[in-house]
Structure 1
Amino acid sequence: MNESKTARSFGCFEANGIFAGFCRHSFVLAFADMIRTGEQSKYILALLHHFMSACQEDRGRRGLPDEPIGSLGVGYDIACGMVDKIARSPLSRLAKGEKLQMLIGLLHGYAHNRLCQLSFLMLYIYGAGIEDLEVCERYFSQSNALAPVTRYMGRFCRHQAIACYAYHRDNFETYHNLSKFIYSNYKQALAILHRAKDTVTIMPPDFRV
């Protein structure tokens, strides 16, 4: 995974992979080719610009207030390192307007230091929900079968194959499982609330909030 070694290994390919964004229900929001690079900050910045601009346009089109009701939570493996970059980039005004809150998924978050976890791990962010923000990992583990098929395709056919896979996955798997997903989260939330009462009861007084 050393960047200098992978750059030489995959330098013969124009597109070295895809950068993807998903909603909390696992529907595809956007795909972008990673051109002659590994995963870099420019891809998440481009995705944020694409999505936040679409949110603003949608509110204007529907006659809603300019300011969103809640915050926009976005999970990323190294979200802690993106906050300063976003603040220094042309996206800063757009991010403030959309109340952007960068978060770290559970799979990667526990490898970060304690201060980072308290600031970005959604476990400690009020209102962040109970998702693990690891949709990309699950999606890519299932879509890896596309790699041998698309590796030697031209750009158009490769994009077409990925788009067809995403369309089928969204409409015939993710959408069909949406009710089960919401119901399971509801049951899990009720169980957490039920256990919270017992936890507060057995905790020492000094640790109670």
Structure 2
Amino acid sequence: MRHHMFPASPMFPQTAYHIKLLEFYKELFMTGHLANQAFAKACAKLHMYENVERLRITFANAFFAYLEVLTKAEELSVAEHQHTIQAYNDDACPACPKDGMIIALDGNFQLRRRMANSDDCKLHESATFFSADAKHSTYAKANDASSKDHKCDSKFRNADESYVSRAIRQCYESGVLGCVCRHNLPLEFTNIVQSGEKHKYPLSVIDVLMKKHGTKVLKIMYDIGCHFEPAIKENFPDWVGNVAVGVFHAYAHSMDCQVQYNPRLIEGFGLTDGEGMERLWSYLSGFATITRNMCAKRRMLTLIQAIQHFKNEHLQSLRKCKNF
């Protein structure tokens, strides 16, 4: 480390890579979704190195160990300042009003991971962005919460267990569900495990958000918000906010549902479209194929760093605004 070299293995390393090279590849990886194999081939050709496979493996080992160190350092920094104002500013959106927050929820089944074998069925835990994974057991029965009060009779494929089981039967992590604020800053995420979009996943995310920001999470936009509202009222009786359906999806619902849940007809939502997660999924779609066959740990490290990269880019855009 004195020579700014990072080892390819923690015990008795024979190969090491300069930290500047790892930083350079990290920027290529996050910005251009450049796979490790392509980068290794390019480096091997440039330096006339014949053993491309060895280069690919050792560089991947060093790179993901480097990402793990970065992620751990960020977690320790947050834990050290978790009760300070600075921690709130680092985690929350600086542009959202302090007396209210509008969040958009959505799930993505493209970011799934194939199981290597029958024993490959354990989530990699992380306190960065994915702390809601620990809340699944708390809301395990929430999917059976009564939703008979909603007036929408539309069918939603992602919540259909028969559809999901056919599509992802070889995967343990079926996908990811997360949320952003109305300024598209990522807030909290959770892994969907061998199922569709059960209520326990958005409830876990909302639980974490409410503990971080209190009652500031007042308004929730969700593509199946009409089905989800009874569950949130049952599990969070002190919550007094509103639920709306994203503008793009609202017109796929029945007319009675549109009148009740279209954000254009609900006071307080303004021109918020509720499609901020779709913008994030568009960026993360470049990692879908790359992470599909990774181990759980490397997949999580990749998603965490990618989400952080997306967040930093939007924070820079916010700071450039003259009115901010």
Q: TM-score scaled by structure 1?
A: 0.71
Partner of residue 314, structure 2: 174
Partner of residue 83, structure 1: 229
Q: Is the 8 A contact 1:15 1:33 kept in 2?
A: yes
Partner of residue 172, structure 2: 14
Residues 1:143 and 2:288 aligned together: no
Question: Which residues in structure 2 correspond to 1:10-49 (within 5 Å)?
Answer: 10-49=168-207
CA distance in 1, matches of 2:217, 2:307: 27
**Matched residue SS, 2:316:** coil
Residues 1:123 and 2:264 aligned together: yes
CA distance in 2, matches of 1:182, 1:138: 23
Partner of residue 218, structure 2: 72
Quote the offset at 1:47 in angstroms. 1.3
Q: Is the 8 A contact 1:106 1:132 kept in 2?
A: yes
**What is the number of residues matched between the two proteins?**
166
**Matched residue SS, 1:14:** strand
**Matched residue SS, 1:74:** strand
CA distance in 1, matches of 2:302, 2:266: 38
Q: Is the 8 A contact 1:71 1:101 kept in 2?
A: no
CA distance in 1, matches of 2:163, 2:322: 43
RMSD of aligned residue pairs (Cα, Å): 2.3
Structure with the bigger percentage of helix: 1
Residues 1:158 and 2:299 aligned together: yes
CA distance in 2, matches of 1:148, 1:71: 33
Q: State the Cα deviation string for residues 73-131 of structure 1 (Å, max 9, x = none).
A: 11000111122222333x223x2xxx221111101111222332222211011221211
Asked which structure has the greater CA Rg, the reply is: 2
Quote the offset at 1:177 in angstroms. 2.2
Partner of residue 92, structure 1: 237
CA distance in 1, matches of 2:243, 2:320: 27
Residues 1:55 and 2:213 aligned together: yes
1:54–1:18 distance in 2 versus 1, CA, 3 Å? same
CA distance in 1, matches of 2:172, 2:280: 23
- Runs of 5+ in structure 1 lacking a partner? 57-67, 184-209
Candidates 133, 137, 162, aligned match of 2:274: 133
1:129–1:179 distance in 2 versus 1, CA, 3 Å? farther
CA distance in 1, matches of 2:162, 2:228: 22
Q: Is the 8 A contact 1:105 1:133 kept in 2?
A: yes
Q: Is the 8 A contact 2:210 2:217 kept in 1?
A: no
Candidates 221, 234, 247, aligned match of 1:106: 247
